[in-house]
Amino acid sequence: MDIIRDLILVTVPGLMVGLAFFYLLREYLKREDNQALHELKLERMRLANPLRFQAYERMVLLLERITPSQLLMRNIQPGDNVRQAQQKIVTNIRQEFDHNLSQQLYISSNAWELIKNAKERVISVINSSGEKLAADAPATELAQLILHHEMEEEVSSIYKAMEYIKAEVRDIF
């Protein structure tokens, strides 16, 4: 009986110390893993944030460049007719957009959709304005129609997209 009692007196404290050691070691390892994951996330953010910020900058620049007034100044040449100007403007919009396609990786899906919608809306305005005029009419008439439409629109899709991007950047950074 004394042997069993002595065995219990030695074994129980040994088991308790072993369990306490096991518990402390497990908690320590969990904490180390969490800290390593946290550091990895911080490093990823440190590397990705400049790319994301640059993508937002490029999207604002894209939206500025496809604003009808900017497009007209860059693309309409003296002597152009409506069809030539319309084709130059739409081609310019598509080139600008295609040049920035990869930026969608770094911005939100909502922002990308607003940008695509703004682009399509501008192309739609240009094409509908071009259809109202004779193909050989001077390009200045097309410019007037497009600018008139831009002034009539209460809140343009480009403005909505820019405001959304600005708000998103303020939230992220």
Asked if 117 and 161 count as a contact pair (C-beta separation under 8 A), the reply is yes
Would you state the pLDDT for residue 28?
A: 94
70 is written with which tokens? 């900017």
pTM to 2 decimal places: 0.74
167 is written with which tokens? 């708000």
46 is written with which tokens? 């440190």
Q: For residue 100, report the phi and psi dihedrals to the nearest 5 degrees.
A: -110, 15
Would you state the pLDDT for residue 91?
A: 97
CA–CA gap between residue 116 and residue 128 (Å, rounded): 18
Would you list the domain boundaries of the chain?
Answer: 50-172
CA–CA gap between residue 157 and residue 120 (Å, rounded): 9
Could you say which residues of the chain have pLDDT below 70? none
Q: Closest by alpha carbon to 60, among 70, 75, 46, 48?
A: 70
Bridge partner list, 81: 138
Question: Computed over its alpha carbons, how large is the radius of gyration of the chain?
Answer: 32
Q: Closest by alpha carbon to 111, among 154, 152, 72, 163?
A: 163
6 is written with which tokens? 């002595």
**Burial of residue 95, with CB atoms counted within 10 A of its CB: 0-12 exposed, 13-18 middle, 19 or more buried:** exposed
